[in-house]
Chains A and B, each alone.
Chain A
Amino acid sequence: MDRLAAVFRDVFDMPALEIGGLTRSNFSEWDSLAQVKLVIGIEEEFDVKFTIDQVANISSAEEFRKLLAEKAVA
C-alpha cells in the first residue's frame, strides 16, 4: 500500500485520488491549510519531522516522496 498516497486521500477526503504528478499549482484543493494538514499527516504516518522551510516550500507529492526517501522512511 502506498502510505503517502493514503495520507493525501485522507486529507483531501478523496479515496480514489492519484498523487502521481500532483502539485499545489495543478490541484486547487491544495491550499495553505491543506499543506499543513499534509505535513501533519505525513509526519505522523512516517514518524519524521520537516523543517519550517520545507513545510513552506514543498509543492508536489513527488517532493514529499523524495524527502521521505532522503530520510529513508519510504
Chain B
Amino acid sequence: MNEMSAGLKTHHVGVLVKDLTRALKSYTETLGYAIRSERFHDPIQTAFVQFLSLPGDSVLLELITPDGPESRLANALKKSGGINHICYAVPVIEEAMKAFRERGLVTIHAPQPAVAFSGRRIAWLMNRDHLLIELVEQGKPGEL
C-alpha cells in the first residue's frame, strides 16, 4: 500500500440533481449506466440517493437529491447541481481520517453506519480546495 494514499480506492462520485427519477432516465439512456441499487434515504446528507455504474466499471455514480426544502443540500442545488463529492473506500477508516487530518483535511462528520452500505461506516471531510470527500469502509466483493 502506498502510505500517502492510505489505501484509497475511488468508490463513487456523487452528483447532485433536482429530480432523481429524471436523472436516472437520463444517465441510463444517454450514457448507458445501469442501476445498481434501490433508492435510499440518507439522513446525513438529508437526501435521497441511488447508485448506478457503467458496465465493467468499478467506480459508482451516486445520484443525490434533497429530501425536502429543509435539506442541507437544498441551497447547494439552488446555486448549481453537478458533481458534489468524491467517495473513497478505505481499509481502516480511523487510520485514514487520522492521516488526512495530519495532512490538513478537516472532518465534517465522524464515522457512522450508512444505510446504503449495509451498515458499513462512512465519514465526511473537506480538503483545502473545498472538495467534499466521503470515506467508506471497504466492502466485500459484490457489495456496493
How many interface contacts (CB-CB < 8 Å) are there between A and B?
Answer: 28
Within the assembled complex, what's the spacing in Å between the Cα atoms of A23 and B6? 36
B126 touches A40 (CB 8 A): yes
Q: With A44-B128, A52-B101 in contact, is A36–B72 under 8 Å at CB? A: no
From A31, A43, A49, contact of B72 by CB (8 A): A31
Besides A40-B126, A52-B107, 5 more A-B contacts (Cβ < 8 Å) are A33-B108, A40-B104, A40-B128, A44-B104, A55-B107
Query: 1/0 contact trace for B5-47 toward A, CB 8 Å?
Result: 0000000000000000000000000000000000000000000
Q: Is B140 interfacial (CB 8 A cutoff)?
A: no
Within the assembled complex, what's the spacing in Å between the Cα atoms of A39 and B127? 11
Q: Is B78 interfacial (CB 8 A cutoff)?
A: no
B108 cross-chain contacts in A, Cβ below 8 A: 32-33, 36
Within the assembled complex, what's the spacing in Å between the Cα atoms of A52 and B107? 7
